[in-house]
Amino acid sequence: MAEENRGPAAMEEAVRDLLRWFRSARVPGIFLVLLEEARWGTFLEAGAGFGIGPRIGNPLEFAARSRVLLLVHGPTGIPLDGSLGLLPFERAAVKRRVRRRFGSVTVPLPRPEDLLVMKAVAGRPRDLADIASLVASTPGLGVGEARRAVTSFAGAMEEPGLLVDFDEAVRRGRAG
């Protein structure tokens, strides 16, 4: 692997190669990949042609447990985590994606409301801080829409704490 180079140009290169890989594999995504488990191995192998490979041993075993592929862009050393999704919410989030310019690359990203839900379900301290920041920095954000989706996930996962944590992060974001 190349020595880590994490400047803006390196990030742009890594994202460009990631998106080329997605297009080549005909896999829709927003850093959330819609892909049946039977295709994970072939998809991962194809990433090597774009300088992207696993950054841990047994990446498919980890993905089966976590629904996340832990990857690295070899030429730049930039880590690229890809969520593997097939739930109706995830499919809808990919369909609703928005496109934003990042240097010379156009990147498909989740709508801010969908990102709130993804962050709430992940529930790590960093994700909850991201929710607060997103709420604070995005006027007119559809927090109610996101809260309804988080409520559904919390019920389905039997994790009422998801909603409690989401509400607290939103409160912190609104408090500025």
Quick: pLDDT tens for 60-86: 999 998 888 999 999 999 999 888 988
Q: Does residue 59 surpass a pLDDT of 80?
A: yes
Which percentage of the chain shows pLDDT scores above 70? 97
What letter represents residue 7's amino acid? G
Tell me: pLDDT of 2 over 50: no
Helix 143-156 to helix 161-175 angle (10° resolution) is 160
Banded pLDDT at 147 (limits 50, 70, 90): very high
Quote the tokens at residue 11.
């990030």
- Around Cβ 121, how many Cβ atoms within 10 Å? 19
Percent of the chain with pLDDT over 90: 78
DSSP string, 26-53: T--BSSEEE--GGGHHHHHHHHGGGTEE
**Structure-token pair, residue 145:** 């829409």
Distances (CA, A) of 123 to 60, 84, 87, 101, 167: 23, 17, 18, 28, 12
Question: In whole angstroms, how far apart are CA 175 and each of 51, 102, 169?
Answer: 43, 30, 10
pLDDT surpassing 50 at residue 152: yes
Mean local confidence (pLDDT), 13-35: 89
pLDDT of residue 55: 95
Q: Which two tokens stand for residue 115?
A: 């990102």
Q: Where are the alpha helices (DSSP H) in the chain?
A: 8-24, 40-47, 59-66, 88-95, 112-122, 125-137, 143-156, 161-175
Lowest-pLDDT range, 2-6, 111-115, 129-133, 137-141? 2-6
Among the residue ranges 30-34, 98-102, 159-163, 170-174, the one predicted with the least confidence is 30-34
- Interval 16-23 mean pLDDT: 92
Q: What is the CA radius of gyration of the chain?
A: 17
Q: What's the rounded Cα separation, in Å, for the pair 104 and 145?
A: 32
> If pLDDT is split at 50, 70 and 90, which confidence band does 3 have?
very low
* pLDDT mean over 156-160: 93
